[in-house]
Structure 1
Amino acid sequence: MNNKALIHLTKLNEQLSFIDLEIDNQIEKCESAIDIILKSIDVVKKIISKNSFKSDLEEVLFFKETKPQFTSKLIYYNMIYKIEMKRPNGGNRILKKYYHNELLKLKSFFDNELEFYQYYRSGSTYLDYKYFQRGKFDIKLALDSYYFEADTTFSTSHDFKVARILANDLIQLYLESQLVMIENKDNGEKSQRKPNIKLMWTGSKVALTELLYALHSEGVFNNGAVDLKNIAEYFEQVFEIDLGQYRRTFLEIRARKSDRTKFINSLNETLLKRMDNADDIV
């Protein structure tokens, strides 16, 4: 049964990646993501209701590892939606304070759930039969009130807490990335030492667009928590180039019948040739 759920998880990740590429506005992105995640969870819930787990271990693995990956995404996008909806208008100092306070809220959760957090992070398993099997809750394990209102056919006493841990990791990265961007903006407004040489992009705009999407897909900027639009604007500013309708350009690249990653492949071939050239040390 876990295999069926994992197939839907892969599909969900692909859909979320597409949303991340196509939607720049963070609030709209969260709204679309939440809608897709809810539908995906509903599908998995129906799979569980129509099938029985082959063993207690399979049930534990589903509620400890698989289901939290769905739920954590729902928690993450819902929290980011709330954070951005309540974001105050003001200067960088006000925004810094706001995001720092949100980080403190995450710390409060970890402090309150320290015992279970340590159990989960250490890879312990001796209480799994109570934490991650349906109907095996123990009131002495400090249960959250929500559990008593949850669908007990699709919930255990602690699968939601695992999801919160996973989601909070992502939320922390998001908040820290926002603080980094604010800090960079502050630094950009101050006088800084400029390079002695000005670099200009002399390749094609199509090639730069291909590189732009590749770097964004790899998540190499700000731990992956940065919008495609922000990266595009950064490239345009640094290289003083107008990428125009880069999304349409990407669609044209994607529609190529062959060699869709023409520029990336060329980079790979050129670098390999340089490495193979014994005389070209650096």
Structure 2
Amino acid sequence: MKYQLKINKLNDQLNFIHLEIDDAIEICEKAIKIILTSVEELKKDISKRKFKSQEEEIRFFREIRPQFTSKLIYYNKIYKIETKKPRGGRRIVRKYYRNELQKLKQFFDYELEFYKYYRTGSTYLDYKYFVRGDFDIKLSLDSLYFESDLQFATLHSYKVAKIMAHDLLEVYIEDKLIETNNNLSQKPSQHQPNINLTWTGSKVALTELLYAIHSEGVFNNGAVDLKTIAEFLESVFNINLGQYRRTFLEIRIRKSERTKFIDSLKNNLLKRMDDADY
């Protein structure tokens, strides 16, 4: 619970940055500083305590620490991608982003064995992968492991973080490719409402609603893609959803309350119905 509160606090800080800043490079600079501070606090906390069992240690290095490290990897990689992005036409930029996407694929291909182990929820090698100081040289080792603080790292905790970060990076790059697609010109909405409404809830909540609407298939008998619905909601509610695919990925990996906004809608509507009965 304590670590979950730390993660929630970090996520709130990062979400605030995205709301306040539009420039990707500036977002990354501020995000990295915040994450480094959070990781350092986590490191100090671990140095002051001992795990009660091997199971507790495994859980920390498999599930908790990677949630912090993955964010550092993610924003650091975006910073490098955006600062090295070539100046040129859309064709050049698209080629650049495709190459970055290919690099992610190469990582997954190289780490395929561990990727399958982690994605399938296997645990039979956790005692080797996620326990400090007890590494097997016969296993695939990352040189970074030997350069890190071995009291705050295990053999594969960093690899889990990279998998989590690369999931987010894949969404980020795909969104950038969509933005630079010559065939997807920005067209003003033909359905302008008579009254201007501004969404004053969170972007996360609207993203949750966006995916729920798309999943239900309530527009044009379900023959509308996600991007079209997103643009419609942005136009109607006077809001920029930003990287909604990345936001949805964050919602997906929530440990609890994955449909927080939808649940709140249901509960408040039921309460209103109950109140109206009296």
* 2:163 matched residue in structure 1: 165
Q: TM-score by structure 1 length?
A: 0.72
In structure 2, the residue matched to 1:203 is: 195
Q: State the AA in 1 paired with 2:198.
A: L
Match of 1:130 in 2: 128
Residue 34 of structure 2 is matched in structure 1 by: 36
1:186 is aligned, of 177, 183, 188, to 183
Identity %: 52
Quote how far apart the aligned CAs of 1:144 are: 1.0
Query: 1:215 and 1:178, CA in 2 relative to 1: closer, same or farther beyond 3 A?
Result: farther
Q: 1:7-156 maps to which residues of 2 (within 5 A)?
A: 7-156=5-154
Structure 2: how far apart are the matches of 1:158 and 1:31?
27
Cα deviation, residue 36, structure 1: 0.5
Residues 248-278 of structure 1, C-alpha deviations (whole Å, 9 max, x = no match): xxxxxxxxxxxxxxxxx8xx97xx99xxxxx
State the secondary structure of the residue aligned to 2:180: helix
Query: Counterpart of 1:152 in structure 2: which amino acid?
Result: L
Cross-structure match for 1:254: none
How far residue 111 of structure 1 moved from its aligned partner, in angstroms, is 1.1
Question: Counterpart amino acid of 2:126?
Answer: D
For 1:166 and 1:75, the matched residues in 2 are separated by 9
Structure-2 change in CA distance of 1:97 and 1:31 (3 Å): same
Between the aligned partners of 2:89 and 2:21, the Cα distance in structure 1 is 25
Shift of 1:187: 3.0
The alpha-carbon distance between structure 1 residues 7 and 212, as it changes in their structure 2 partners (threshold 3 A), is closer
Q: Is the 8 A contact 2:101 2:170 kept in 1?
A: yes
Check whether the contact 2:178–2:184 (CA below 8 A) recurs between aligned residues.
no
Instruction: Kindly indicate whether structure 1 or structure 2 has the higher relative contact order, using CA contacts under 8 Å at least 6 residues apart.
Output: 1
Instruction: Provide Cα deviations, 1:166-208, integer angstroms capped at 9, x if missing partner.
Output: 000000000011111222x53327xx9x99xx4223224xx32
Q: TM-score, normalization: structure 2? A: 0.73
Partner AA of 1:208 in structure 2: T
Where structure 1 has 5 or more consecutive residues not aligned to the other structure, the ranges are: 222-233, 244-264, 274-282
Tell me how far apart the structure 1 counterparts of residues 65 and 202 of structure 2 sit (CA, whole Å). 33
Query: 2:126, 2:91 → 1: CA distance?
Result: 45
Aligned length: 228
Label 1:210 to 1:159 Cα distance change in 2 as closer, same or farther (>3 A).
Answer: same
* Cα shift at 1:85: 0.5
After the TM superposition, list the runs of 4 or more consecutive aligned residues in structure 1 that deviate by more than 6 angstroms. Answer: none
Whether contact under 8 Å (2:66, 2:158) holds in the other structure is yes
Report the Cα offset of residue 220 of structure 1: 4.3
